[in-house]
Amino acid sequence: MCGIVGGIAQRNVVPILLEGLKRLEYRGYDSAGLAVINGREIYRKRELGKVKGLEALLQADPIAGNLGIAHTRWATHGKPSTANAHPHICKNKVAVVHNGIIENHEQLRGIQLENGYKFTSETDTEVVVHEIYHAMETSTGLLNAVQKTVKKFEGAYALGIMSVDYPDTLIACRKGSPLVIGVGIGEYFIASDVAALLPVTQRFIFLEDGDIAAITIDEVVIYDANENIVTRPVKTSQLKIDSVDKGEYRHYMLKEIYEQPWAVSETLEGRFVNNRLQESSIGHNAAAIFDKVKSVQILACGTSYHAGLVARYWFEKLARVPCNIEVASEFRYRHPVLSEDTLVVTISQSGETADTLAALQETKKLGAKYSLAVCNVPESSLIRESDLVLMTRAGAEIGVASTKAFTTQLVTLMLLVIAIGRRFGLTEKLEQKITSELFSLPEKIEQVLQLNEEIKTLSEQFAEKQHALFLGRGTHYPIAMEGSLKLKEISYIHAEAYPAGELKHGPLALIDADMPVITVAPNNSLLEKLKSNMQEVSARGGQLIVFMDETLASEGSESVQIIKVPQVENETAPIVYAIPLQLLAYHVAVLKGTDVDQPRNLAKSVTVE
């Protein structure tokens, strides 16, 4: 979603703000802007479109200052426009950048209009800056005004605030949207993401919900939701500056696809002794919690939801434990019933997905005692609110279309299946077999990546296509769903996924020569049934593209194109078969000329409902 950068230093912060915005571009946005205080004036530049447009604007008409805030906006209230871009200013006195949604903005706007405030945008953020200005008239300072103001807001927010009346102070506060403080040498910065500040620091303070920080050149003073001064630890990030660079690759997405052998190895590293999973790697109290678990409830959104769907098959087939999964955005609105011995498993690449966080909080209200987060960002809100953590260790994922985060989520979920399955009869022999499969994954993925040129050639068949159908059975139905999502996300081709057995219940009516049907066909117990479904497609003139186990004796034809996938064992096959579908989506998108890493209308981290 939107990105915030801010800073207070003894040097011009404009180049730092610009670099920070560039490093937040992966989050998705439609406009960019920044403002600085210089003397008794606020100087602001805003531009519709990419950060490079804002940069060109600043090159033509430079501004400078030691205190500044900047923002990339993803439109929610009000269309993408320069007027709606942040920062927003009230009477040339106060400037604000904002992530999140102020849900009672219409009520506040009505009151402010009655009080004579003029609005220059359609955003909910403008009520924030007016409200702070109004509070300053009866407050002892900017901090006090902000403390009064945020009590009036309903919804989620991360805010960066500055005022010409207090040119030595930057205010940062958060509720529901992430915000960090970067600790430099004689300077401080704020950002919605650690990655934005890596060029200037690797030391960070992670604000908690309700925190308000008053930041000067000399110090940071943090107040909690009850206005008590609190200390938040300074943590050193393990991310490197070059971890968010494309390197030799044309796009982040392709780089991240090729990083998957390494990412899977990192995910497995240090979690096994003598090829046996160590439950202590999940948490010092993991074993005690798992002993009490009787069922599993998975909550996730998007790609993470697809990972959870695969895991449901694993939990019930391998671990023999009841498992439910639900889209997090739906869970808390249907009055769910949970037993206290349910392990709530949340899955999120960023750990800041608003719906998933809200669903986790709802489970606690419902009495669920135990929670575990599968996440890629160690300092995220989801991690802090969960009892146990399984880090995916995928490294920074910049492309909006998730790739290595998805496969590492599947690996970590299999680790959880092993740990819980031990309590429900998972035999040591089966555990050893699964462990062996996991450790062979990096090599198997390397072999699949060698199909890149073949898949690139295959992608040319999609140049004029408008629709596609993906089929799979068992654990490969969610993989078909993930392949469908990838294609539609970045190529803008309408794609759907179905369990292959559902063809006769409707989708078969769509089959014709213009509808490519992509099928995932590993060598498992459902193969014969899948072949029957494929014959149904061919008999009706459909064009089949089949990703098939290389050991299967099957030849292509005029209507059936076969891509042989290296042999892989059944349990971990979904992880391997996700890779060629990622490559297919990537090459189709490149062929169509879309913005692969920042597809239209989408954001990397959905931090508001």
Q: Which residues are part of the catalytic machinery?
A: 2, 604
User: Is residue 533 within 8 Å of 500, Cβ to Cβ?
Assistant: yes
Q: Which stretches within 192-259 are classed as H helix? A: 252-258
310: Cα within 13 Å, side-chain hemisphere: 32
Whose tokens are 């496969």? That residue is 407
Give the separation between CA 41 and CA 68, rounded to whole angstroms. Answer: 12
User: Is residue 114 within 8 Å of 95, Cβ to Cβ?
Assistant: no
Give the separation between CA 583 and CA 595, rounded to whole angstroms. Answer: 15
Give the separation between CA 420 and CA 279, rounded to whole angstroms. Answer: 10
Give the separation between CA 105 and CA 309, rounded to whole angstroms. Answer: 37
Q: Is the dihedral of CA 301, 307, 308, 313 positive or negative?
A: positive
DSSP 2: -
What is the dihedral angle through the alpha carbons of 234, 237, 238, 243, rounded to the nearest 10 degrees? -170
Strands 31-38 and 67-73, by their bridges, are antiparallel
Give the separation between CA 115 and CA 561, rounded to whole angstroms. Answer: 69
The 3-state DSSP class for residue 341 equals coil
**DSSP string for residues in 532-568:** HHHHHHHHTT-EEEEEEETTS-----SSEEEEEEPP-
Q: At what angle do helices 14-23 and 51-60 cross, to 10 degrees?
A: 160
Give the separation between CA 188 and CA 181, rounded to whole angstroms. Answer: 7
Q: Which helix (H) or strand (E) holds 156?
A: strand 155-163
Q: Which helix (H) or strand (E) holds 17?
A: helix 14-23
Closest C-alpha among 53, 3, 54 to residue 27: 3
Q: Prior bond to 87 cis, omega within 30?
A: yes
